[in-house]
Amino acid sequence: MSQPLSERTVALVKATVPALEAHGLEIVRVMYDRMFQNPMIRDLFNQSHHGDAGSQPRALAAAILAYASNIENLGALAPAVERIAQKHVGLQILPEHYPYVAEALLGAIKQVLGDAATDEILAAWGEAYWFLANILIAREDHIYRDLAEAEGGWNGWRSFTVEEVRPESAIITSFLLRPTDGRPVVRHKPGQYLTFWLEIPGHAPLKRNYSISSAPNGETYRITVKREPQGLASNWLHDHGVAGTVLKVAPPAGEFFLADRPERPVVLLSGGVGLTPMVAMLETIVAKHPDVPVHYAHGTLDGSTHAMSHHVRALAEGRSNVRLTTFYQQPRSEDVLGRDYDHAGLIDEAWLRAETPIDDADYFVCGPRPMLRNLITALSMSGLPADRIHYEFFGPADELLAA
């Protein structure tokens, strides 16, 4: 259990807020430069989120500023702490990695702020860093132990074999994964993701998260992946992830999931490949919670990009508790209104208010950044309590947090 921060430390950290507002992004960039000089630490991170155009430095700068601003009221950061802990478990971050981050952060503060970063300020930030680090380490240890002790659970990287490859649309493919050792797998919570360690010739190891698109069954996982135009990992999976391919996989993680026993109606909102956790949730509701009303609204460009449409319709067929609504942003001439889709355009606030039970439901949202920003803002502004708005976003969620 971490000792409470001293009043002097709280005051000193709060006093650095203006400097963080002015120089936080530069501090984070220098911090990453320092950390990534160590290949072991560099390989822990998803490199696609870094670099000049990367979103991770902005997100971390915002997170450090939020920590400093709320240093005397850390309860406000509890949801963020859980999200970070889950991400760390997916990436297999361990206690021995934290000192490298501390050294890089304090060194970056000193390098960027110069003489303004006095020994007293650096000591305060060191105390503040380890206070939060110890909270994360304790939570991550609990998650690791639960995963290791669960039936079919494991820690570290486990080999899985691609058993089946199924094209779902022009740009999206599903991969059915079975553990190479033939043993059971831990039953994930519908909505969680797997983290993959991909070794692609000519490149440093890659870490990528992909949502599990199937309900838990104790034997296999299914991931459903979009081929991104510049996506090194997604293109490799589409081109080389044939049946028989062996992949290194960390256990399921993530704080975005359907409750074991849903107490309210459920509204699922997805865009594009954001449908993957929603299909897992829908399969679970159909199989285990036939009395829970669920309204699943999905938006995509057109019929050519509409993945898993036949599977989703089959799940809903004949079930009075399931309602489906499909939006095509730019329907093609061959896309038939009323057969292939229900609305042209995007899921918007007006539709949400008119067609979904905002006063009564839990909302789960997953999709592109603009969609998440718009829908989460609309739901929040409608008065929906924060604990009934659940979202998944692969990559730093700085813009969502700002919204």
User: Catalytic residue numbers?
Assistant: 98, 140
99-105 long-range contacts, Cβ below 8 Å, gap at least 24? 100/35, 100/38, 100/41, 101/31, 101/35, 101/41, 101/129, 101/133, 102/126, 102/129, 102/130, 102/133, 103/34, 104/31, 104/32, 104/34, 104/35, 105/27, 105/31, 105/129
Beta partners for 271?
299
Q: Which two tokens stand for residue 55?
A: 């979103």
Instruction: Please report, for the chain, how many H helices and E strands are present, in that order.
Output: 13, 12
CA distance 262 to 14: 41
275 and 302 Cβ atoms separated by less than 8 Å: no
Residue 194 host element (H or E): strand 193-198
Copy the structure tokens of residue 191. Answer: 């909505």
Q: What DSSP element (H or E) covers 86?
A: helix 78-91
Supply the DSSP symbol for 93: -
Q: Which amino acid is at 8?
A: R
DSSP string, 287-342: HH-TTS-EEEEEEESSGGG-TTHHHHHHHHTT-TTEEEEEEESS--TTPPBTTTBS
CA distances from 373 to 162, 211, 254 (A): 34, 20, 20
Task: Give rounded-to-5 percent helix, strand, coil for the chain.
Answer: 45, 20, 35
DSSP assignment of 14-53 equals: HHTHHHHHHHHHHHHHHHHHHHTTSHHHHTTS-GGG-STT
Token pair, residue 24, equals: 């936080």
